[in-house]
Amino acid sequence: METAAESLVETDGPDSPRVAVVTGAGSGIGRAVAVELLAAGWSVALAGRRLETLEETAALAPLKEGAPLCVRTDVTSPEDVAALFGAVRERFGRLDLLFNNAGTFGPGGVPVEELPYDAWRHVVDTNLNGAFLCAQAAFRQMKEQDPRGGRIINNGSIAAHAPRPNSVAYTATKHALTGLTKSLSLDGRPYRIAVGQIDIGNAATDMTERMQSGILQANGELASEPVMDVADVARTVRHMAELPLEANVQFATVLATNMPYIGRG
Ligand SMILES: NC(=O)c1ccc[n+]([C@@H]2O[C@H](COP(=O)([O-])OP(=O)(O)OC[C@H]3O[C@@H](n4cnc5c(N)ncnc54)[C@H](OP(=O)(O)O)[C@@H]3O)[C@@H](O)[C@H]2O)c1
């Protein structure tokens, strides 16, 4: 005879125990998503390179399922990533969601012919290699755990569809994330691992401050662009996260309604 607790674990409903890792949780979109999940009763591990900002995020959230786990993590380091997922396993025993969010724009505005190789590598290491390492660790955990499965949401960008001028490293890595999402999504099928991607345009964070002050357009002009509230991104990610594993938002594009993209400017 199954106990009430066991029957809960086997459900995908809102009362199931749900454990998430959010990378880049100390600011911007990662912070907003972490707070949104914590407020909805998720157990959350917050990862990023600065413990202080992770602790600030933790302090913003109402306590429902106990204090979030803050783990100083550089996603470009295989050792750090292994330690993060080991700590999650030790504290929570399983993993239901990875929000693969840590990222950098790199040195924006530098023409391709002047971009130092180190700068290129830093962006590739953070946005692509870091996302791969975290997804691989999540995949291993989700495949082995009982009940099996989980969800990975990669944070792409409008740059996964169309570049801004002088953004070769950022744009190339965000296009590559789409390949990562598709491949993991296919490889996750046998293990009940759902993989999707959110492509965001102009959420108001530190990264997009210059959108409002004036940013280079394809026609060479500087223009300020509309931004949207980061809370609207967080609600979208929570919706994707809380679907049953039999349903998946494969790609979601969420952008400031009037930003230049759909009209080719
Ligand atoms: N804001 C937008 O409109 C927008 C649009 C499209 C895509 N995105 C994507 O959304 C994600 C978050 O961006 P944001 O706008 O919230 O900007 P942000 O505030 O600059 O967030 C970036 C986060 O990534 C973390 N991070 C950077 N390098 C890291 C590393 N090596 N290891 C671990 N964490 C690292 C940073 O924390 P630490 O410095 O403490 O490590 C920071 O918390 C990025 O992937 C970005 O490309 C944003």
Task: Note whether residue 9 is domain-resident.
Answer: no
Least confident range from 5-9, 111-115, 166-170, 222-226: namely 5-9
The question of whether 261 is a catalytic residue gets the answer no
% of the chain exceeding 70 in pLDDT: 93
Let me know if residue 38 belongs to a domain: yes
Instruction: Work out the pLDDT band at 265, boundaries 50, 70, 90.
Output: confident
State which residues form the domain around 171: 16-255
Ligand 1 atom 43: residue of nearest CA: 24
Cα 189 to middle of ligand 1, angstroms: 28
Look at ligand 1, atom 16, and give the residue with the nearest C-alpha.
28
Say if residues 34 and 40 touch (Cβ distance below 8 Å).
Answer: no
Q: What is the pLDDT of residues 114-130, one digit of tens each?
A: 999 999 999 999 999 99
Q: How far apart are CA 100 and CA 106, in angstroms?
A: 18
Q: Is residue 11 part of a domain?
A: no
Does 126 contact ligand 1 (Cβ within 6 A)?
A: yes
Minimum-distance ligand 1 atom for the alpha carbon of 174: 47
Query: Is 263 contained in some domain?
Result: no
Q: Tell me, yes or no, whether 262 lies in a domain.
A: no
HSE-up of 112 (CA within 13 Å, CB side)? 9
Distance 162 CA to ligand 1 centre (A): 19
**Total domains, the chain:** 1
Q: Is 150 in the pocket of ligand 1 (CB under 6 A)?
A: no
Whether the pLDDT of residue 5 is over 60: the answer is no
Give the least confident one: 16-25, 68-77, 207-216, 237-246: 207-216
pTM: 0.94
Residue 82 in domain: yes
Give the residue, by CA position, lying nearest to ligand 1 atom 44: 103
From 21, 23, 29, mutation site for ligand 1 pocket: most ligand atoms within 8 A of C-beta: 29
Q: Ligand 1 pocket check: which of 21, 22, 23, 27 to mutate, most ligand atoms within 8 Å of Cβ?
A: 27
CA distance 228 to 212: 11
CA 8 to ligand 1 center in whole angstroms: 34
Rounded Cα gap, residues 197 and 20, in angstroms:
16
Mutate to test the pocket of ligand 1, among 33, 46, 49 (most ligand atoms within 8 A of CB): 49
Q: Does residue 7 sit within a domain?
A: no
| pLDDT tens track for 27-86 | 999 999 999 999 999 999 999 999 999 999 999 988 766 789 999 999 999 999 999 999
Residue 101 has pLDDT above 70, yes or no: yes
Q: Is residue 10 domain-resident? A: no
Which string of DSSP letters, residue by residue, matches 40-109? TT-EEEEEES-HHHHHHHHHHSPPSSSPPEEEE--TT-HHHHHHHHHHHHHHHS---EEEE------STT
CB of 106 shorter than 6 A to ligand 1: no
pLDDT score, position 2 = 33
CATH number of the structural domain spanning residue 186:
3.40.50.720
